Amino acid sequence: MVTNLTEEIPPSIWSGWGDPARARPLSAGALEFLRRTLKLASVEATHAPVDLADVRVRPAALDEAVLAELRAITGPEHVSTFDSDRVLHAGGKSTPDLMRRRSGDALDAPDAVVFPGSSEEVGEVLAVCVRRKLAVVTFGGGTSVVGGVEPLRGRFSGLITIDMRRMNRLLHVDPLSRTATFEAGIRGPAIEAALAPRGFTLGHFPQSHQEATLGGYLATRSAGQASTGYGRSDDLVKSVHLQTPAGPFDAGSPAPGTAAGPKLLDVVVGSEGTLGVITQATVKVSPAPEAKVYGAWSFPTFAAGADAMRQLRQHGRRGDMPHVCRLSDTDETASTFKLGGWKTGILSRYLTTRGQKKSALALFVWEGDGRQCRAGKRRSARILRRAGGIPVGPLPGKSWEHGRFSGPYMRDELLTRGVYVETLETAAVWGSVEGTYTSVRRAILDALESNGAAAYVQTHISHVYSDGASLYFTFLAGLEEDGLAQNSRVKEAASKAIISAGATITHHHAVGLDHAPYMAAEIGDLGLKVLASFKTTLDPEGIMNPGKLIPSPLEPQP
Amino acid sequence: MVTNLTEEIPPSIWSGWGDPARARPLSAGALEFLRRTLKLASVEATHAPVDLADVRVRPAALDEAVLAELRAITGPEHVSTFDSDRVLHAGGKSTPDLMRRRSGDALDAPDAVVFPGSSEEVGEVLAVCVRRKLAVVTFGGGTSVVGGVEPLRGRFSGLITIDMRRMNRLLHVDPLSRTATFEAGIRGPAIEAALAPRGFTLGHFPQSHQEATLGGYLATRSAGQASTGYGRSDDLVKSVHLQTPAGPFDAGSPAPGTAAGPKLLDVVVGSEGTLGVITQATVKVSPAPEAKVYGAWSFPTFAAGADAMRQLRQHGRRGDMPHVCRLSDTDETASTFKLGGWKTGILSRYLTTRGQKKSALALFVWEGDGRQCRAGKRRSARILRRAGGIPVGPLPGKSWEHGRFSGPYMRDELLTRGVYVETLETAAVWGSVEGTYTSVRRAILDALESNGAAAYVQTHISHVYSDGASLYFTFLAGLEEDGLAQNSRVKEAASKAIISAGATITHHHAVGLDHAPYMAAEIGDLGLKVLASFKTTLDPEGIMNPGKLIPSPLEPQP
């Protein structure tokens, strides 16, 4: 059975997300709710992207000799200098990325896109780039929302993007040890489609699942919607094979546990393409769940719901923790009710009669053996009820799961309708969750409303740990004339609030370009020097993804 | 109630383990079993250590000006140049360490031992050592069995050992997030004694628990006897504060999860004193268990038992996994029966009547809520029985727990009786556990028996992962005249067998001096260069623990 976990869709279009034919347009009611909430005169579709033919791209800078070298490695059909390919690799999928491209600006596009077919070919391409002094960006699904795949050439005259899509095979499964080895360019649905017949799942489902690649997961330390149960990508990975300018590098041990010095795998995981190209990875896999059991509970406040999540994690039985745990604040719950049609209207009225005029909705999915899931849910229900939760049945969870990958499509429509929307995220220890939530939310609202406009912020927890939780903010306002400035303003205010709260600058979106200025606050100046020291060892010329992760002054300067 | 988990004992004596008054001598039967098995003419106590007064120590090399600087930092009473202190810091507790010291060789002893009282003092001591070009060894419990605290001065004319024992405080507990911050010199029992009144446990109990320190755990990526349940030290740590020659360094995020680049904490954890001195650490703690439930099952072969462990981990319910999982091979089980007195004799005869003339004994401890533990045991029993296990009751588990920290005392007595005994360990994925076991065991036996002597090897699994397990080998033979050569011969043979099997050179003993030659096989030449790059950044002069972890040619050479 093909599900939204295994169905492969085409790579995203140049101006937005995925395959637009799969987008479900916003209902009239939803649009009216937005118009009213954001105090907009209109939400008509007046801001469509320019025509692809009108997109501005710089002239490709590579001379024929370089192209000939690249073509000799991959075959001529796997090196493209077509503008259509260059625009498709002109950046990721952050809202400012989309605003730029939709307005016709793809000036930074790479000079060529190379589609290697093997790890060895990647190594040879890097050797050419070292010799020819060309910057290199590795491109998986291209789903970065922090500028991670922006083709910034820095001090280099040319830039090659390596698109990993051809390297998409399952290489090996070890059913006894429950591990699988893949080429790194395999996308989320293909991972699941390859594992399903063998009875396994990776269990890694970020919202970008349908486009993102395994290599991208590991390069960014991604977390997925079921990571509370299956673990983050950095928990799942056992080893990676990396091609670097200094040669091939295997990081990670085949052993299940080792004390053989620092864990170099954790230097490569999260390195965001700045050290080399992840070409293969071995990951832990889990038995595909026989059953999924859904539940949802309503809490009077976000704080009450968050504390219930904590109790569930800390006081529940080992093993009863749901794989998916999400708690929306009252704003996100309200917008879900508004946008969800008559069923959620009934739910909202029911909660009002139970004394919850405002509701913070928590939803859960238990995965695995059916009996075990049901028992886990039954025992969890006792904790959640004692914590003030009102059970509201399985539908919210099922409905969330059905639409779990559709958010990015909605953003494309909102931008076309002149609505600015972006997300950002952090994580904090339990004692700081409420304070971080309040101050970051306030900073976002203040930044968006600073010119008298109306804005909406909604927040959820999606990853629950023994020591704290993630916080994910989605915020909307009318699109200002200078949308890029609007975006910078709110992003800067929110980032400063996150740093002040002592939370992390990113829980799962990674650093890329956008968070690099906050890395000194995150890891200290000496930490930055340590980061730079690996970079100098593996990428002495500094060709790999310049400007990302490590603030530029620390990058290698030959 | 003071237990063997919370009872603090004095730091180890110079020639052996712990407080010899606590050692239980081997019974006459046990000695006879050993004599017969190892085909020895005698196991009389003819090899006692020399008198402390006869130990040879090099003259202390530090001039008064240096000592005055050190004394000004810590106070004069916390800088010692007494031979008695220098001998106590002349190395760790590997069998060759003990053989050297027992024979009167402490020539490598440090020139001075400094006992700092704070992280700032450690920083100031390092600054003196950088300026004065002195090598530095950090000494926690001094329990390394791989040469991790050998005072090797390399190209430096002097060496300071920093003994962390005064830095033994619990600094902060966050009960909401279940984390605790300690000074790094706190020893195992003091950690538990500090947490117990607050209802928590660290759950980290290596055999060295009664002597080892938190900083030592983290510097070596240690695993403990209950790590299958609570996690390894590298799973438990959230952040560390490190003093380095380049300045103070905080590694690790307060956030419960982060995607902010490579995990620098994993560069410091496992760095074995080569980058700096861990002075504080924040770790996850768990509720102290209300109950412990014990069980043991006998299997006809080690392979059958190992496969049962795998099934328990992979097919058991999430959360039912015992905290302690140990499986002895038939040799270790036989020696346990022989040395255990009449009760184990009855057990052995019972198993023979059930068709297991040879037995590989698995024992388990479930910890936590009593009902949950009993249910976990009940369900686990079904898996273990289906896998061929015969239940043998709770006694083997309780008996093991009672003697869990006594192994090192027994070694001291064996050496005195002319019996060579040492241990080594590795870990392998499930598909390689049996092959690694067989080939490493064979290599040890061949090396020990190469001159016609008799030897005994016994093996256990003590850490069970989803993808594999640890293997721990204990081996005995008559002590040869050149015990150090005997030890090198067997250690080299075993290490080569481990590398050939594709297993890790160390699962929890760490690298130190002894495993450094195998690091190229473990992490590759480029991996070594990456290791060296951190070292150059944090310790540019190369004063920190020279010769350990990183093979010498790659160490900084100013």
Predicted-complex ipTM score: 0.96
- The DSSP 8-state label assigned to residue B552 in this structure reads G
Residues above pLDDT 90, as percent of chain A? 91
Please, what sign has the CA dihedral across residues A369, A375, A379, A385? positive
Residue A468: its H or E element: strand A468-478
Q: Does position A558 have pLDDT exceeding 60, yes or no? A: no
Q: Cβ of B259 and A222 within 8 Å? A: yes
Q: Are B343 and B268 members of one domain?
A: no
Q: Are A189 and A249 members of one domain?
A: yes
Q: Does the residue B3 lie in any domain?
A: no
The pTM of the full predicted model, rounded to 2 decimals, is: 0.97
Residue B506 to residue B484: CA distance in whole angstroms: 21
Phi, psi of A363 (to 5 degrees): -130, 150
Residue A524 to residue A503: CA distance in whole angstroms: 14
Closest by CA position to B452, among listed B480, B418, B411, B491: B480
HSE-CB for A207 with a 13 A CA cutoff: 19
Q: Are A128 and A189 members of one domain?
A: no
The nearest CA of chain B is from the CA of A259 a distance in Å of 5
Query: Rounded mean pLDDT of chain A?
Result: 95
- The DSSP 8-state label assigned to residue A105 in this structure reads B
Q: Does the residue B442 lie in any domain?
A: no
Domain ends where: A163, A183, A206?
Answer: A163
Q: Does the residue B426 lie in any domain?
A: no
B523 touches chain A (CB under 8 A): yes
Write out chain A residues lying below 8 Å of B470, CB-based.
256-257
Chosen from B143, B145, B177 to mutate, greatest number of chain A CBs within 10 A = B177
Question: What pLDDT does residue A181 have?
Answer: 98
Write out chain A residues lying below 8 Å of B501, CB-based.
none
B506 touches chain A (CB under 8 A): yes
- The DSSP 8-state label assigned to residue B257 in this structure reads S
Please, what sign has the CA dihedral across residues A209, A211, A216, A220? negative
Question: What pLDDT does residue A339 have?
Answer: 78
Minimal Cβ distance to A261: which of B502, B503, B511: B511
HSE-CB for B381 with a 13 A CA cutoff: 16
SS3 letters across B338-387: HHCCHHHHHHHHHHHHCCCCCCEEEEEEEEECHHHHHHHHHHHHHHHHHC
Q: Are B223 and B180 members of one domain?
A: yes
Query: Rounded mean pLDDT of chain B?
Result: 95
Q: Are B313 and B346 members of one domain?
A: yes
Residue A143 to residue A12: CA distance in whole angstroms: 9
Q: Are A273 and A304 members of one domain?
A: no
Q: Cβ of B468 and A270 within 8 Å? A: no
Average pLDDT over residues B413-426: 98
Q: Are A152 and A176 members of one domain?
A: no
pLDDT digits (tens, 9 = 90+) for A347-406: 888 888 888 889 999 999 999 999 999 999 999 999 999 999 999 999 999 999 988 999
Q: Which CATH number characterizes residue A82's domain? A: 3.30.43.10
Average pLDDT over residues B138-145: 98
Question: What pLDDT does residue A342 have?
Answer: 61
A505 touches chain B (CB under 8 A): yes
Q: Cβ of A523 and B264 within 8 Å? A: yes
Question: What pLDDT does residue A458 have?
Answer: 98
Q: Does position A553 have pLDDT exceeding 80, yes or no? A: no
Question: What pLDDT does residue A457 have?
Answer: 98
Closest by CA position to A352, among listed A392, A384, A387, A383: A392
- Over the range B98-124, which residues count as b (16 or more CB within 10 Å of their CB) and which as e? bbbbbbbbbebbbbbbbbbeebebbbb
B residues 464-483 lying closer than 8 A (beta carbon) to A: 465-470
HSE-CB for B242 with a 13 A CA cutoff: 32
How many structural domains is chain A composed of? 4
Q: Which CATH number characterizes residue A197's domain? A: 3.30.465.10
Q: Cβ of B506 and A470 within 8 Å? A: no
The nearest CA of chain A is from the CA of B429 a distance in Å of 6
Ordered DSSP codes for B75-88 = -GGGEE--HHHHHH
Minimal Cβ distance to B260: which of A248, A256, A505: A505
HSE-CB for B463 with a 13 A CA cutoff: 30
Chosen from A144, A177, A539 to mutate, greatest number of chain B CBs within 10 A = A177
Alpha helices (H) in B211-341, listed in sequence order: 214-220, 227-230, 233-236, 265-268, 302-315, 330-339
Q: Are B276 and B367 members of one domain?
A: no
Please give the residue of chain A at the shortest CA–CA distance from B179: A467
Q: Does the residue A463 lie in any domain?
A: no
Question: What pLDDT does residue A2 have?
Answer: 72
Minimal Cβ distance to B431: which of A176, A221, A524: A176
Average pLDDT over residues A98-107: 97
Question: What pLDDT does residue A347 have?
Answer: 84
- Over the range A392-407, which residues count as b (16 or more CB within 10 Å of their CB) and which as e? bebebbebbbeebbbe
Q: Does position B544 have pLDDT exceeding 90, yes or no? A: yes
Residues above pLDDT 70, as percent of chain A? 98
Q: Does position A165 have pLDDT exceeding 90, yes or no? A: yes
The nearest CA of chain A is from the CA of B30 a distance in Å of 33
pLDDT digits (tens, 9 = 90+) for A243-274: 999 999 999 999 999 999 999 999 999 999 99
Phi, psi of A240 (to 5 degrees): -135, 150
Q: Does the residue B322 lie in any domain?
A: yes
Q: Are B249 and B328 members of one domain?
A: no
Domain ends where: B287, B305, B334?
Answer: B287
Write out chain B residues lying below 8 Å of A440, CB-based.
none
Write out chain B residues lying below 8 Å of A510, CB-based.
259-261
Q: Does the residue A476 lie in any domain?
A: no
Minimal Cβ distance to A261: which of B310, B429, B531: B531
Q: Are B277 and B180 members of one domain?
A: yes
A residues 357-376 lying closer than 8 A (beta carbon) to B: 368-369, 372
Inter-chain CB pairs, A–B, below 8 Å: 297
A132 touches chain B (CB under 8 A): no
Residue B219 to residue B210: CA distance in whole angstroms: 17
Residue B71 to residue B89: CA distance in whole angstroms: 19
B452 touches chain A (CB under 8 A): no
Q: Cβ of A256 and B174 within 8 Å? A: no
Q: Are B98 and B134 members of one domain?
A: yes
Minimal Cβ distance to A261: which of B260, B270, B310: B270
Q: Does the residue A416 lie in any domain?
A: no
Q: Does position A184 have pLDDT exceeding 70, yes or no? A: yes
Domain ends where: B128, B163, B198?
Answer: B163
Q: Are A302 and A245 members of one domain?
A: no
A residues 172-231 lying closer than 8 A (beta carbon) to B: 174, 176-179, 220-223
B269 touches chain A (CB under 8 A): yes
What's the distance, CA A122 to chain centroid?
Answer: 25
Residue B184 is part of which domain span?
Answer: 170-287
Identify the three-state secondary structure at position B328: strand
The nearest CA of chain A is from the CA of B150 a distance in Å of 17
Question: What pLDDT does residue A460 have?
Answer: 98
Q: Cβ of A256 and B465 within 8 Å? A: yes
Confidence of residue B341 (pLDDT cuts 50, 70, 90): low
Residue A414 tokens read as 């909102």
The nearest CA of chain A is from the CA of B54 a distance in Å of 36
pLDDT digits (tens, 9 = 90+) for B303-337: 999 999 999 999 999 889 999 999 999 999 999 88
Question: What pLDDT does residue A557 have?
Answer: 59
pLDDT digits (tens, 9 = 90+) for A27-43: 999 999 999 999 999 99
Phi, psi of B458 (to 5 degrees): -130, 150
pLDDT digits (tens, 9 = 90+) for B57-78: 999 989 999 999 999 999 999 9
Q: Does the residue B204 lie in any domain?
A: yes
B29 touches chain A (CB under 8 A): no
Q: Cβ of B526 and A244 within 8 Å? A: yes
Residues above pLDDT 90, as percent of chain B? 91
A residues 399-428 lying closer than 8 A (beta carbon) to B: 426-428
Question: What pLDDT does residue B547 have?
Answer: 95
Confidence of residue B342 (pLDDT cuts 50, 70, 90): low
B430 touches chain A (CB under 8 A): yes
Chosen from B275, B522, B530 to mutate, greatest number of chain A CBs within 10 A = B530
Q: Which CATH number characterizes residue B323's domain? A: 3.30.70.3450
User: What are the CA-CA distances from residue B517 to residues A43, B114, B511 (Å)?
Assistant: 68, 30, 9
Confidence of residue B243 (pLDDT cuts 50, 70, 90): very high
